[in-house]
Structure formats: C-alpha cells, structure tokens
Chains A and B, each alone.
Chain A
Amino acid sequence: MATRRSGSSEWSQWVAGGVLAQANQVDDWIAIEPDGNVTVFSGKVELGTGVKTALAQIVAEELDVPFDRINTVMGDTALTPDEGYTAGSTTIQFGGFALRQASAEARQALLELASDRLDAAIEELIVHDGVISVSHHPDRTINYAELLGGKKFQRRITLTAPLKRPAEYRIVGQLIPRVDLPRKISGAASFVHDVRLTGMLHARVVRPPGPGAKLISLDEASVSDVRVVHLGNFVGVVAEREERAVRAAQQLKVTWRATTHWPQQANLYSYIRNQPTTDNVIVEEGKVDAAFKRAATRRTATYAQPFQAHASIGPSCAVADVQADRAVIWSNSQGVYPLRGALAELLKMSPEQVQVIHAEGAGSYGHNGSDDAAADAAILSQVVGKPVRVQWSRQDEFAWEPYAPAMVMEVSGGLDRQGQVIAWQYDVWTPSHVGRPRGKSQLLAGQLIYGQRSSRPQWFGGGDRNAPTNYDFPHQRVTAHWLADSLLRTSSMRTLGGAANTFANESFMDELAAATQIDPLEFRLRHLTDPRAIEVVRAAAQRSEWGTPLPAGEGRGLAFAQYENEVAYVATVAHVHVEPLSGAIRVLRIVTAHDCGLIINPDGLRNQIEGNVLQSLSRALYEEVTFDESHITSIDWDSYPILKFSDVPDVDVVLINHPDQPAVGAGEPATITTAPAIANAIFHASGARVRQIPFTPQRVKAALG
C-alpha cells in the first residue's frame, strides 16, 4: 500500500491548518453574545446532512456551553471564514477540527480571564455550562458573557490549547436531534427557494435544445408581460409573476441550430476506451508482468459506469440582488467563496463587491445546478436592475446539471495454486471529476454568453478515487487513463470515482473467489491485514448471517472498501432475490458495517449511512443518463427513475465506534460498497454476473444467458 497519504489526524491538521492560517483568530469562528448565547461562524454549509448540528456539538463540547445556546452561521462571504467547499465528507474532519481548535482556544482565554477576576489559579477553576467557578468555593463564580462583557476575544488560535479527551465527552457522541428539522417540518422558511425580497421578480432561462446549440433567431413579440433578456446564446425571461415566467419560457419562439453530434449511447463505453488519454500509474508494486506469467489462474473483466444525475428533488434555485456597486446572491452552493469569485468575473465586479450567502436547497450530493442557477439569477438581476429569483424546471435540472462521469474499468488478476492473488492490474478510463466554477467559463450562463466551455479540466481529479484496493497484493499496478474531456458536462458527485472503482474492484474480487471456489468472505479475509478492515468485514458478515442457507433464487453478496483508501472502513452485505424469467432484482436486505473512528452523533451518522445505502442502491438498479445525437433524453422522473418506497429494502447499519481514532467523514463512504454487494448477490443467487450499472432486468436476463 505504497500510495496512502499520511494518517487522518495529521492530514486534518494539515488541511485545516491552511484555513486556520487565514482565519487565525478566535473571533473569526466564535462570538460570545452579551446574553451568553454563542454564535459560531462556519465556512462549511448545511447540505441536508446534519453537519450544522454536529459542528455545534463539537463547539458545545470543547467550549463547555449548553448545546442549545449555540447559533451557527454557515457559508456567508461577509461573515464566515473561507473553508472552500463543503464536499468529500470532510466537514467534520476539517471543519470540525478547526472549530474544535477555536473552541479550545476560546475556553483557554476565558479561563485566563477568570483566573484574574476570581483570583485563583487556572488549575483551581471548574467550567460547567459556560460558568466558571473556583473549586471548593461555589460562591466564587463568573460566566462567559460577564467575562467578555460583549468584547471580542482578540486572541490568536495557537493549536496548543488543551483539548478534552474523548473519554470526557458529554455532548459529542450523543444523539442530539437536528437543529434544522423543527422549521422544516412546520413550513417555516428554510430553503433558498423561500428567500423573498421586496420588488423581487421571477425569471426562467430559455435553454437551447442541447449543449453547443447556437441561437439563430428570437421573436420577442411571441410573449407579452415579460422582459426578454438576450446575451449571446443566453436567453431569459423575467416577469412579475412566477407562472408568467414559466409560461413565457415555454412560449417564446426561439430557433436554435444544433452543433453537437454525440456517438450512439450503445457505443459510449467503446468511445471512452478509444479516447486519447493522459496516463498516470498510481500504484506500481512488485513485478507485475512476471507474476502474471507464473500465475496458475488468470482472469480479466471489464465494468462500466454510466453518466448519472444528482437528480436533486428540488430543482436548482437562486435569488440575486445586483446593484451598480454591490451584489448579494443567495445560493445552495457548496462553496460560497469560489462561487463569489466566479460571479464577480461574470458580473464584471470585484469579489469584495459581491456577497454570496448560503441558503439551503434540496440535497445536492455534489456539484449540481446550484452554482449555475446563481449565475442565472445574478446576470438577470444585473440586466433588469431588480432582485430576481430563478428556479430551474425539472427538465432543465435533468438536462443541464453537471453529471457524474461515465467510466470504464478493466481488472486482471493472477492467482497461485492456493487461490492467493499474486498479480493484480487495474485500469480506469475516466475524465476529471472536478468541474466546479473557478471562473465564468465554468458557469452555464458564462458559457452561453461568452461562448463555449473550455474543454480543459481544472485538474485530473476524482476518477482515481478508490482505484487502488486495500488488499495485500504482492505485485500490482493501478493506472488511471484520464480523458481530456467528458462527452457530457460533468462534475463532482458523491464519492466521485469511488463508487465505480469499488464496483469494479469488489465485483472482480468476487469473480476471483468464484474462480478459486473459496467463499467470498474467506477470500477477502485472506488478503486483509488491517485489523479495522477485518473487524468491519466480520461485523457485516455476522449481522447478515453470512453462510446460512437461503431459498432458491436468493443470494448474498459482500463488498468491502476503505474510503479513499485511508478514511472510513465500510463493508456491505446485500441479500437479493432474482426473478429468473424477467431478470428483475428485488433487494431484500442490506447490512452495512461502518467504522469512521470517533462517532460525533450516532443518530445523525445512521441517517447518513442509511441515506448513502438507499441512494447508491437506486444508482445501482435504476439510474442512467440517456442521450441521442444532440439531446439529453432522460429529462423527468419517468425517463430517469429513482428508488420508490415500494422497493425499499430493510437496511441494517452496524456502527463501530473507535473513540481513540480521529472522526472521519461519513457523508459518502457507505455509497461505494452497495453496487458491488448487490452485483455479487445477484451472482450468488443466479450465477449471472452483471458488469454494467444499472442492473436493469434486461441486463440481468442477458447475463443469465
């Protein structure tokens, strides 16, 4: 395992250290209000995953204040630190690390002030719920608000303030209900969709039929009661009333000329394999070619991952108020500071003149249309000189969001006579999974106004996530073949390449186990040495009653991975039924064992894991973006179906808590093992090996032969 990064704790410190170098004052993160309430400023944002609650738990714990005294401000370029993107399951790991350090520093500062005021050594002081008292002198007390008297801390974060030991935790690790849910279940304004400004107009963008289409003609007289905005290929309609904007966007007579000629969808994977690539050997250990030559058994298989959509349940929305010298934009962006830079460029303003405020949206699971909607609202507000709200149509959301990239994975393995893997070769063909807005040309509005997107990716990233396994293979080579561009516009979606790579790796491990006739659980354990990996695999197997007999047509499949090869450990057992005549799959039960180190909030964690399991099950069974020569054809919930309530299996989550280990993210890891566990269960149930996602009845039937 030559490629691993440094330990998670050091890594957290290194990443958060970059943020803390910029926002290096306690006051950047924490304010004690005169009434004793605590305001927390986090540059991370709530994306529906519960981090607002979990981060407040971390502060309440380390600062020693009651949880319900904390108010958290998240993602506002005028108020919060720049913590980059809320992505990659790193909010607790990095954002939590920074807030923990700031809170410990604040507590230390308050202890020093109290030591002075109470005339006692710090060692004699006791802190409880924001009140400091002198040991054995219960009358000598002072609270945080009195100590600060409304002033700021004016203290640098040193990273040396004493931190609590996990054994002392009273708030971290507790099941605390989500702070945002009472508003959401009672209809209080909660989302960017609910932002209403005085004089606000409603707008819709009139999209071309497909990417690259050129505007030929536009008949403004075809609509009334709306303002038509036309900048290059960007066409928008702005109206007093939302339904007028919706109707006008449908009625406006626009002629486009298609310029795109995509290959047939049936040839997508050969197209990907035949693109010019930049190759990057990620792992090279031992003597791979020689090991393959002396292997007793050799196998090769190819797997395919289609384009998939984030498919947020609420189409992207934004509100913008752009004036001559100042702009405020509300967006469900994952990164308010990077978006601010891109919007400033689009609006021809300086970043200091632009404020981006995060407002929650529907779950995005990565980089969806939120940033693009912000650009739409901003440019339209600038043109009409009034606040503008834009919400995309369902069809535009499906047709124009940046997708998770399609990928091809080929794996070869060589086994010795005892069934041990002695040679392993892995190749993945993928575009970059990074397409976030770093300038106007990455925003749809910028592309439409100023010409086509640049095809150059920002950097090759994400497609190699979990391309290496965590198994001990003596001779192995893992290579990423980076495509210069993606056929369809793509960006980051939950786990990036982690899901597709783990689908390939763990399906292939099963194929090798079948070739050796060794039980798939035993086969994996023979190639693992990390005790936490073994523990999580055994936990999933035990809870799923691995190895016990099943009725005909049913099967169990196992998959294991360590997310990003170095953070959370996850093992999944799927239990499925295969209908032999139709090839239809019914997933009966999913067991997922999960070890992300120290657990901050067990119920929030379970909710995240369950969500990952069900969403990844949906992606494995149903989801594929479809297209013809120049159009996206999966544009609604009929043509892009997702999991329905009637098809939800039992999900059993096994939490493994390691309070002595750093808390690492849980927003993604349980996604990556679901598809291979289901594929392996289909094989166990029926002998059919499916190597292409999604596992439609047609594909299963074809694999049944």
Chain B
Amino acid sequence: MTSQFTLTVNGQPYSVDVAPDTPLLYVLRNDLGLNGAQFGCGSERCGACTVLLGAKAIKSCKVLVSEATLGSITTLEGLGTAAELHPVQRAFLAEQAAQCGYCTNGLIMTTAAFLWKNPHPTDQQIREALNGNLCRCGTQLRILRAVKRAAELLAAEGV
C-alpha cells in the first residue's frame, strides 16, 4: 500500500515511505517537519499551503507525493534562511505585511514565483497574481506594497 518516494526539498534529497495518494503537504509537514506550508482548505482555494515545484507555485494540499518527485521543491524554509532572508521575505518584513501570519507563507511563495516570471509587474497584475490567496485579517494593502517592494529589491540586487 505504501511506496518509496524520493523528493528533493530545499536542495536536500529525502526518501519517504507513504501511500502514493498522500498529499505533498502532509509529507512536508509531518515527515520532513517543515512548518511553512499550512493546511487551509484542501481544495486549492486559499493558498496557505503554497510551495514551489521548480519555479512554479503549487498548492501542496492537492498535489500528491507521487506527482512531486519530478522537480525540486522549495518551501518557505528553503527560500531564505533566517540569517539571510530572500528579498521577498525582507520586503514582507519591511512592510510588516502580516497580522496573524497564517496566509503569509502562501503569499510569499506565490510572490516569489510570480516575480521570477514577471519582474516588473503592474499593480493590476500583482492583484491578479495574488487572487488565488486569501487573507482574512485584511492585510492586503500591506501585502500589495510588500510585493512592489520585493520587485524593487530583486531588481536592485539583480537576483
């Protein structure tokens, strides 16, 4: 019933023995002990569980572990270290763009993937890019400012 799966997460190889239909989220949280991705809805509607598969933002609550072996996975923990934060993380901190912080993982990961594809977005494009992520505390304005700041930081640093 279970099978062996080899995943690359934050640059490290991991081997897990789980059912093939296990959502990636539970492997990241419970087998690898990672905290960034959170369960929000289980149906790709809120974005709290977002991680990167290659350069693409995916909802780890729906992607199965068997589908996640093909590319390299990056979680919030792997985006930047506490000592050396990724520019998107620095931008969120600088704008104090969180209240409870539960949606923050998804917004940072979605922003990182979005700015990699579109480094000079318009305000409208930013809003559209974030529409798959929900924030209940009402921190959207700060988050929008953080995304703009992140784009500036990335451009300035040539990342």
Contacts and interface: CB of A to CB of B under 8 A. Distances in A.
Given A177-B96, A644-B131, A607 B139 contact: yes
A638 B41 CA distance: 11
B18 A638 contact: no
A362 B101 CA distance: 7
B50 interface: no
A251 B75 CA distance: 31
A184 B101 contact: yes
Contacts of A393: 42
Contacts of B46: 313, 637
A603 interface: yes
A241 B30 contact: yes
Interface string A414-456: 0000000000000000000000000000000000000000000
Interface string A381-411: 0000000000101100000000000000000
Given A363-B100, A645-B131, A612 B138 contact: yes
A645 B140 contact: yes
B117 interface: no
Contacts, number: 174
B98 A184 contact: yes
A186 B102 contact: no
A543 to B, nearest CB: 16
A140 B102 CA distance: 49
Interface string B120-133: 00000011101101
Contact of A363 (B18, B42, B127, B136): B136
B115 interface: no
Contact of A646 (B98, B108, B127, B136): B127
Interface string B123-159: 0001110110111111111111000000000000000
Interface string B76-94: 1100111001000100110
A645 B126 CA distance: 9
A637 B18 CA distance: 30
A610 B142 contact: yes
A173 interface: no
B137 A186 contact: no
B149 to A, nearest CB: 13
A702 interface: no
B18 A241 contact: yes
A241 B81 contact: no
A445 to B, nearest CB: 21
B6 interface: no
A610 B141 contact: yes
A177 B97 CA distance: 11
Contacts of A610: 138-139, 141-142
A186 B77 CA distance: 6
B92 A644 contact: no
A290 interface: no
A360 B100 contact: yes
Nearest to B80: A186
B81 A48 contact: no
Nearest to B105: A187
B39 A185 contact: no
A394 B142 contact: no
A648 B93 contact: no
Contact of A188 (B21, B35, B102, B131): B35
Given A313-B135, A614-B138, A181 B98 contact: yes
5 tightest CB-CB pairs across the interface, nearest first?
A48-B100, A614-B138, A187-B36, A184-B101, A363-B100
Interface of B: 18-19, 21-23, 26, 29-30, 33-36, 38-43, 45-46, 48, 75-77, 80-82, 85, 89, 92-93, 96, 98-105, 108, 126-128, 130-131, 133-144
12 contacts: A48-B98, A48-B100, A48-B102, A181-B96, A181-B98, A188-B82, A313-B46, A394-B41, A617-B138, A636-B41, A645-B140, A651-B141
